[in-house]
Structure 1
């Protein structure tokens, strides 16, 4: 029988920080776990209906677990492009340097947990707003975020 003694029921990191909330291009991103000095970070991401993340790539792998709603995940595999319709309970992995993106084509928000690398977590925490946006991102905001992403080793291919 496996012990659950390792389970941390309090959101945050090993220093006791509580959940921190960020907004990146309209998505609400909540840090659930950060282990300093390690690659492991867990964020819950809420994707509003009609929202999407542009196709991008980065050195770290990612794992998505859909919690609510549906998410269309696009990724470029060695066999060519593939589109995955993922729903609650589905798990999708993204390999290092794999071009990928996602969209919520549904009528309700989609929520998923993402296990992400240090560079992606630092980008979210440095560039994310602390208040929700009042409007859709402007072309200037998208250009600024694309440039900022590059500084963290994230290549945005199509915004």
Structure 2
């Protein structure tokens, strides 16, 4: 069935695209018609997250549950800002950032992304979650996906 661009559109919870980017469950909630804006829910296991990285796409994160340490750089030094439910982090383009679930239970973020980041998640994501830490084959796959989508990791020695 083709939907009219002028009609309301409902996607049920069962029909929302869900995949795992490493250990994080990413559920695409929808996109804003006529824009590149995509909204996703990200569930992060305890202790998991992303390393310090940068990319051209801006992002906005709202903590829905749990506690996150949002990583960044200030005066060239690594920083972490603790955030809880209701807190919002805005990430401008090319600004190094990352996050880590700081709690003992899964934590949830609402992520506002653009189509470029959604394409990266779809490229790297898989239907089942990754079990355990990434191995050499996983790291090669992650590196290749990052290269295809212009995502650069910030080595900690460079950040210090």
The interval holding the TM-score normalised by the smaller chain is 0.7 to 0.9
Q: How far did 1:79 drift? A: 7.9
SS in 1 for 2:36: coil
Q: Does 1:41 align with 2:34?
A: no
Q: Which residue of 1 aligns with 2:10?
A: 10
Task: Decide whether aligned partners of structure 1 residues 147 and 10 sit closer, same or farther in structure 2, where only a CA change above 3 A counts.
Answer: same
CA distance in 1, matches of 2:84, 2:136: 31
Q: Does 1:59 align with 2:56?
A: yes
Asked whether the equivalents of residues 66 and 111 of structure 1 are also in contact (C-alpha less than 8 Å), the reply is yes
Q: How far did 1:18 drift? A: 3.2
User: Which runs of structure 2 are paired with 1:108-147 in the superposition (5 Å)?
Assistant: 108-147=105-144
Q: How far did 1:54 drift? A: 1.3
Query: What is the Cα-based RMSD across aligned positions, in Å?
Result: 2.5
SS in 2 for 1:23: strand
Gaps of 5+ in 2: 1-7
1:10-35: per-residue Cα shift (whole Å, max 9, x none)? Answer: 348xxxx9310111111100001124
Q: Pick from 27, 47, 50 the counterpart of residue 47 of structure 2.
A: 50
Q: Which moved more, 1:132-141 or 1:55-64?
A: 132-141
TM-score (norm 2): 0.81
Q: Does 1:90 align with 2:87?
A: yes
Q: How far did 1:104 drift? A: 1.1
Q: How far did 1:39 drift? A: 2.1
Task: Decide whether aligned partners of structure 1 residues 49 and 42 sit closer, same or farther in structure 2, where only a CA change above 3 A counts.
Answer: same
1:127-157: per-residue Cα shift (whole Å, max 9, x none)? Answer: 2001122333213202311221120121123
CA distance in 1, matches of 2:59, 2:108: 15
SS in 2 for 1:89: coil
Q: How far did 1:36 drift? A: 6.8
Q: Whose helix proportion is higher, 1 or 2? A: 2
Task: Decide whether aligned partners of structure 1 residues 43 and 99 sit closer, same or farther in structure 2, where only a CA change above 3 A counts.
Answer: same
